[in-house]
Structure 1
Amino acid sequence: MPRVSSIKGVRVVAIAALIFWVACCIFALQRYFNFYPTYVAFDQGIFNQVFWNTMHGRLFESSLSSTESINVLVDGEAPTVFYRRLGQHFTPALLLWVPYYALVRSPVGLSVLQISLITAAGFVLYALARHYHPPRLSVFITLSYYCANAVIAPTLANFHDLSQLPLYLFTAFLALEKRVWWLFWVMVGLTLLVREDTGIVLFGIGLYFILSRRHWRVGALVCVLSVGYIVLVTNVVMPLFSEDISRRFMVEQFGHFIDNQEASTVEVLWAIASQPGKLLANLFTPLDRTINYLLGQWLPLAFVPALSPSAWVMIAFPLTKTLMRQDPTALSLHLRYALTFIPGLFYGAILWWAQHPLQFQPKIQNFWRVCIGLALVLTITSNPNRALSIVIPDSFQPWVYASPAEQWNHAQAVRRLMRRIPPEASVSATSYLIAHLSNRRSAVRYPELRIHEDDGEVRLVDYVMMDFWYPRLFQRAFDDERQTLQGMEDILGTWLDSGEYGMVGFQSGVVFLRKGAASRPQPLERWERFRGTFSDTN
């Protein structure tokens, strides 16, 4: 069996990292610049506006985030420009990247940042694997990371805070192995600051150190810090900014355990602990989806994490939280939550191979190659977050596909309309347009029209943009898109009839409205012709 030298191992990892970074940039950026819709496309606009406001001294403020607050969704209030997102998710670690954002000042820069963070984590993973293993095995582990669906898909998603997690935790593991304690505790602190709930991931890691007796005092301290931080932030700090954590997120995710329409994290934990039967039912149903999800996580590592007690301990609490959530999309390898399992699974695999080095035989290596290849093929064919829709149809039967030329022409039309919106104007737009308009103080997501400005006045937004082109394309195959298209059509009719907005532009299925303006004949005529094609599903 040929050996892999240290220099060759680094070279292979560097090439893999470069391919990963370039490919992810190409597909993520072409989707962004083509305005191609994807799940939680709205989040890109939220994070960009958070960074934009923070850069201007208004820490974590976002009118876009306000549109998802309990005050707007339930109480019927207007979104506010001075709403601080820290009431929804406590993410102070984002402050590290404000200097970077000050250089790029664009949502597309956040996508590049996300891809770079996850790419860099692979280098740290290789160094961590090399602490235990020869170059050849370390290369296999690192290639598994770069080919994992649970890594690629969230990387190709819109920007999210959990993209920092693999880098911080792999660095923490490496620092612990090297006994660089100051770096270890810095990474633990940064992990806690990523989000209010990342302490759950740390708790599982701390529990592993306790049960393995490798560093039980360190593990105990990590567990105490994690629990204390979660309780303090979710029950004391976040309520200072808004009531979203108790009135929205706890109820949305764990409402089946509680009877009230409002609950703190402590109350939810007590409700879960006092209903062990319901807890077990949630953990084991739906069993098929849970098994498929775990198989997808294990596949690129040749299923070794399934054999690793260390991996099971480290992912036990994040997995329990995921299985308990009232969210049909929670068990999806394409969402950002899949990244929370990556550090524990890969560190657990490294530790398993350290105890079974003789198992790394040619047959196992061949099997592992097949697993890595299969993981990559399944990832590509699943079209993660529609990033590959430029080459892969969204549906084969019926056929739903927009060619690169069609996507580009549509994007050019959108840009021509966007250039007509002044930088200081307030705006409302559909989800996958709003990110491009989020470098401003006053922005909300369609169908919201009101906004509570800095002067205390609630006003209607100045401009509205609605993209009917993609819903019209997708409605051939997807019922939810057909309903979205119908809803958009009805709402637009209501707005035009009210006279508060006039249609002053229409290009490539995109409606452009201005407050207080009279509708122009040519855009209205083009809109009516386009509207007449909605029933065409051929």
Structure 2
Amino acid sequence: MTEKRGIIVSAIIFFAITLVLILHRHFTFYSSYDQGIFNQVFWNGIHGDFFQSSLSSQLSTNVVHNNEVPEVYYHRLGQHFTPALLLWLPIYALFPYPATLSVLQVLFVTSAGIILYFLAREYVDNTVATLISISFYSANAILAPTLANFHDISQIPLFVFTLLLAMEKRWWWLFALFSVFILAVREDSGITLFGVGVYMILSGRFPRIGLMVCTVSFSYLLILTNLIMPIFSEDISKRFMLERFGQYVEGEEATTLDVIWAMLTQPWLLLRELVTPLDRTIRYLLGHLLPFAFIPTIAPGAWFIAGFPLLKLLLGKGFSVLAITIRYAMGVVPGLCYGAILWWGGQGILTFNQPLESLTPRPLSRKFRRFWLFCIGLTLFFTLTSNPNRTLYFLIPDSIDPLVYVSLPTQWERSGNLYNLMNRIPKQASVSTTTYIIPHLSGRREIIRFPALELRNDQREVETVEYVLADLWRLRRYQVAFDDDLARLKTMTAKIEAITDEGEYGIIDFREGIILLEKGAENNSQAVNNWLNFKAKIRPILQRED
């Protein structure tokens, strides 16, 4: 137990700090749309409507591109195939709250670090194993996404480390089980499993099993994305493939087979996309390597396993693919960790095909240990000062020039007003609300994001929502630095004016820039006066050019 004190203390510290921060982020209304999507998926699941979500429907190609009305019975499996979420449904059934998902996410990552320690102990001593786990916990690509909205990729490190430990122990029944779990995380997680199979083949350790893993994972990816997911919706071909890999294909839709073929037949474009933009690509790679003191750079095993999920990101387009604080980066880290383990265990470029049992672990010198700790500290500094997912909004301004900052007392007071207004909405009522309120109201069948008002109910009939709750104070505070918030403030203010002037909705409460409307209700005179005063204050903002 004394030997394991380092990993125990590290895991407890990581769990405690991240749990406090992520719950504070959620309860002060900084969790956002994706948290609401997953919470609604879980909530519908415990009520027998598996993987259905009106919030996901609002992002579907039918709504975004064809201007259709969001559907409460829309199956999210057409966007992302995530059956692994069913593993956690019994826990959610006991604690059916959006905050439960945040707790689960912290548990996934904390447990992954502990499994990583035992995986490392197969080849290295306690000190190196503990440092590798601390590097994992400190990595920007792990810490920042842990402090984000709940996401399915948070399961990947736990599943991959368990899979690799099962491989080392030759527990093939457990290896097979977690291979299934990895494939069930989402449609593209087979790429990670494919990398494990490539390592098993090229290292010469388990070539037959590796070949089977590669065959199964690649076949699963193709069958799932080309045959199964299109059953639920056309999002994979008309939206997601084009958003990520539209630069390789022409037309308004593309399957995974279309994209793969287009990549293979355009090698120069492929090479250009791989390395550009050069500065962001280099910073992204350095961000991944820094917490491990750059050791994975010279570890072949790291690149065989991490290389394939990394390749998927480098070949894609959009800001998020090279943002190390966003969830996609988390899928790269397990391979880097395993590569570091193998290198410290004695494996290198020249010894990659030699039996690991015949290699001698590399010693950790005092000088390199200090350098490693410095790299970990630098990683933590970069992570925290980046204010990942606005978790540290109360310490770090969202903008310096112009200054945009929300203090704790201000946000706590606002949160109290928001909770009071939310409590006036019946639990079964249909709602349209703004982004940062969505997670808190997403435990219901009918909810969409404002300014949309219509959805299609279970009777296949289009209806307007019963309640609207909009936080305009937040948009007013942030619009000075963020053009999108200015545009939303103008759009939402105009929408509220239109539906209240027509008498379709009545203003039943207004507090500090937060407005509550009810369909067909009489206006509350005090609430209307508060609304008119607020509009007068923001009129100069609304008249400003975007």
What is the TM-score with the length of structure 1 in the denominator?
A: 0.96
- Partners of 1:306 and 1:489 in 2: how far apart? 52
- For residue 514 of structure 1, what is the aligned residue in structure 2? 518
Matches within 5 A, 1:309-388: 309-355=300-346, 357-388=361-392
Aligned-pair RMSD on alpha carbons? 1.5
> Please, which moves more after superposition, 308-317 or 333-342?
308-317
SS in 2 for 1:397: coil
Shift of 1:210: 1.2
SS in 2 for 1:330: helix
- For residue 158 of structure 1, what is the aligned residue in structure 2? 149
Structure 1: unaligned runs, 5 residues or longer: 1-6
- Partners of 1:273 and 1:533 in 2: how far apart? 57
Match of 2:496 among 492, 498, 513: 492
Shift of 1:219: 1.3
- Partners of 1:142 and 1:536 in 2: how far apart? 49
AA aligned opposite 2:375: C
> Please, which moves more after superposition, 395-404 or 284-293?
395-404
Matches within 5 A, 1:252-267: 252-267=243-258
- Partners of 2:73 and 2:127 in 1: how far apart? 53
- Partners of 2:216 and 2:96 in 1: how far apart? 35
Kept in 2: contact 1:43–1:159 (CA 8 A): yes
- Partners of 2:162 and 2:173 in 1: how far apart? 12
Shift of 1:213: 1.1
Shift of 1:202: 1.2
Matches within 5 A, 1:41-440: 41-355=32-346, 357-440=361-444
AA aligned opposite 1:517: A
Shift of 1:359: 5.0
> Please, which moves more after superposition, 162-171 or 76-85?
76-85
Shift of 1:161: 0.5
- Partners of 2:228 and 2:47 in 1: how far apart? 23
Shift of 1:501: 1.8
AA aligned opposite 1:251: L
- Partners of 2:185 and 2:462 in 1: how far apart? 33
- Partners of 2:541 and 2:366 in 1: how far apart? 56
- Partners of 1:329 and 1:483 in 2: how far apart? 22
Shift of 1:377: 1.2
AA aligned opposite 1:63: S
- Partners of 2:387 and 2:367 in 1: how far apart? 31
Shift of 1:536: 7.5
Structure 2: unaligned runs, 5 residues or longer: 348-360
Kept in 1: contact 2:290–2:379 (CA 8 A): yes
- Partners of 1:118 and 1:9 in 2: how far apart? 22
SS in 1 for 2:537: coil
Kept in 2: contact 1:9–1:139 (CA 8 A): no
Match of 1:15 among 3, 9, 13: 9
Shift of 1:395: 2.2
Kept in 1: contact 2:450–2:492 (CA 8 A): no
Change (3 A) 1:469 1:196: same
Shift of 1:490: 2.5
- Partners of 1:295 and 1:311 in 2: how far apart? 14
Kept in 2: contact 1:450–1:460 (CA 8 A): yes
1:428-452 deviation line (CA, Å, top 9, x unaligned): 1111101111111111111221111
Shift of 1:57: 1.0
AA aligned opposite 1:337: Y
1:293-352 deviation line (CA, Å, top 9, x unaligned): 111111110011111121112222212211222211211111110110011010011111
Identity among equivalent positions (%) equals 49
1:227-266 deviation line (CA, Å, top 9, x unaligned): 1100111111111111111111111111111111011111
> Please, which moves more after superposition, 318-327 or 415-424?
318-327
Shift of 1:399: 2.4
Shift of 1:525: 1.9
- For residue 445 of structure 2, what is the aligned residue in structure 1? 441
Shift of 1:379: 0.9
- For residue 456 of structure 1, what is the aligned residue in structure 2? 460
- Partners of 2:82 and 2:252 in 1: how far apart? 25
